[in-house]
Structure 1
């Protein structure tokens, strides 16, 4: 019963049909058949296609040669300056980012902020180039194997030097040393991690959406990007680790080194 489907059900179906949807000859359906068999899955169909089909039914004499190509840019995400991920994978990631909203084919821009082999892998570089940039996509390539690991943070990355989002100024004087070096957490229910065990096999793709939103991301000057209260995905230079607790366990290796990683600013 499609009426009981969740957003993840639609996401999984689109993942399977993604390369086919733009090639379907929708105008070949009879109006009744289109309403009964296609419209229940309208969340998968780009708005411009639905509008064209309705127009065709209203004006049957309209030549189908006037229809716009179904491989237009509205259906796909923007290009990305990456040495790790390709267009097909980017389209799937864009779908995940948009899954918390209506499943329209929203386009996102991906602006490269950092590339490890170009800018450096140290944590200070990450914070210098990526803090306060808004939503970001993190992708990394482990040193061994054919995997890609990454995560999406819809919040700003910040250093634990203060409280983000407060314009007030509060101060005090302490004549002693401070001993605590605790970081802070970012609260969101829209972050996720993903693990592609084999980039040549899309069936190996796993996604983990945050379970406890209060501990979705972790901010600390001594670390790079970190997700989860138990370091579900934690970066420290080229040494990364994963210990599931606030995100579902999707098989990310517990400890691994990386040969490359990239951070992208995500805008719509």
Structure 2
């Protein structure tokens, strides 16, 4: 099954329409299925048509009973399709024509998503993680994929799979020492970086994206793409929070100081063996990400060099 999920050409194979139901179900359920979501949808429709004797691909010849037959054939697979990862144009051209074969409440909810960008009330699966991998002890590939979407400035309602970024481990506090000096030795002048922090006696993960990297200077840097975030734990995709730079405070987004490890606008910073959350207006709604004026002792800190390997 894992080999099948890594070979998108299987979805265009002549033998694929004969795939057994349980195999197809488990394949579409996989988060690491490495195909575009619209390709998965196209295949599901074609597979469903092939299962119905005498049903051709020309919809102009279909009756209401034909649509009902298709609906009955593919209904169990519909919740496995990540409709939110399908573009509005593809939804209109390739999903909308099969509206009679889709449960009405699911169709209407996702239509509302495309019009209003409101999240579906139906339980939805997370974006597929594609080929994105991260060598982290704190978060899994799903959360790394969410962070990659945030780097692309996609909001919580528009997360999609991405393999355009590499996350290369630079620093791990439990191995390199949880102190500012070790942090600087490993992370200075390495380009864009992702910081992850887990505090002691908690499952919560905090982090920040520094698009300009860390230097050995004492000054403030503008960084309009910087953001701070939190997860309930290393696998949580329901309670994630993000705080982006206030548009009026971009010039103060990154504060470089010798005695600090990282410092996101004096809002989220590491110094003296503690992580601090300050009451600053440089990042919007920081109170949503963390309790203010908190200074937890970190159990672990990880830093990754972020490299774009594909054009946006």
| TM-score under structure 1 length normalisation | 0.63
Structure-to-structure mapping, 1:106-121, within 5 angstroms: 106-121=163-178
Q: The residue matched to 1:89 in structure 2 has which SS? A: helix
Partner of 1:218: 255
Partner of 1:22: 37
Query: Which of the two has greater helix per residue?
Result: 2
Question: Residue 136 of structure 1 contacts residue 264 of structure 1 at CA under 8 Å; is this kept in 2?
Answer: yes
Deviations 1:124-168 (A, max 9, x none): 1111111110000000111022100000000021122xxxxxxxx
How far the C-alpha of 1:80 sits from its partner, in A, is 1.2
Partner of 1:242: 277
Structure-to-structure mapping, 1:1-268, within 5 angstroms: 22=37, 24-26=40-42, 28=45, 44-45=85-86, 76-99=130-153, 105-160=162-217, 183-211=218-246, 212-228=249-265, 231-245=266-280, 246-247=282-283, 248-249=285-286, 250-253=288-291, 254-268=294-308
Q: The residue matched to 1:204 in structure 2 has which SS? A: coil
* CA distance in 2 between partners of 1:237 and 1:83 (Å): 23
Contiguous gaps of at least 5 residues in structure 1: 1-17, 32-41, 55-73, 161-182
Change in Cα spacing, 1:88 to 1:106, as seen in structure 2 (3 Å) is: closer
Question: Residue 77 of structure 1 contacts residue 90 of structure 1 at CA under 8 Å; is this kept in 2?
Answer: no
Change in Cα spacing, 1:264 to 1:225, as seen in structure 2 (3 Å) is: same
* CA distance in 2 between partners of 1:224 and 1:77 (Å): 31
Question: Residue 77 of structure 1 contacts residue 91 of structure 1 at CA under 8 Å; is this kept in 2?
Answer: no
Q: The residue matched to 2:297 in structure 1 has which SS? A: strand
* CA distance in 2 between partners of 1:128 and 1:75 (Å): 32
Q: The residue matched to 1:26 in structure 2 has which SS? A: helix
Change in Cα spacing, 1:252 to 1:77, as seen in structure 2 (3 Å) is: farther
* CA distance in 2 between partners of 1:220 and 1:257 (Å): 20
Aligned residue pairs total 196
* CA distance in 1 between partners of 2:304 and 2:257 (Å): 19
Question: Residue 238 of structure 1 contacts residue 259 of structure 1 at CA under 8 Å; is this kept in 2?
Answer: no
How far the C-alpha of 1:237 sits from its partner, in A, is 4.5
Q: The residue matched to 2:190 in structure 1 has which SS? A: coil
How far the C-alpha of 1:76 sits from its partner, in A, is 2.3
* CA distance in 2 between partners of 1:204 and 1:104 (Å): 18
Partner of 2:24: none
Partner of 1:11: none
* CA distance in 2 between partners of 1:153 and 1:122 (Å): 19
Change in Cα spacing, 1:262 to 1:104, as seen in structure 2 (3 Å) is: closer
Change in Cα spacing, 1:75 to 1:196, as seen in structure 2 (3 Å) is: closer
Q: The residue matched to 1:255 in structure 2 has which SS? A: coil
Contiguous gaps of at least 5 residues in structure 2: 1-29, 47-57, 60-82, 95-127
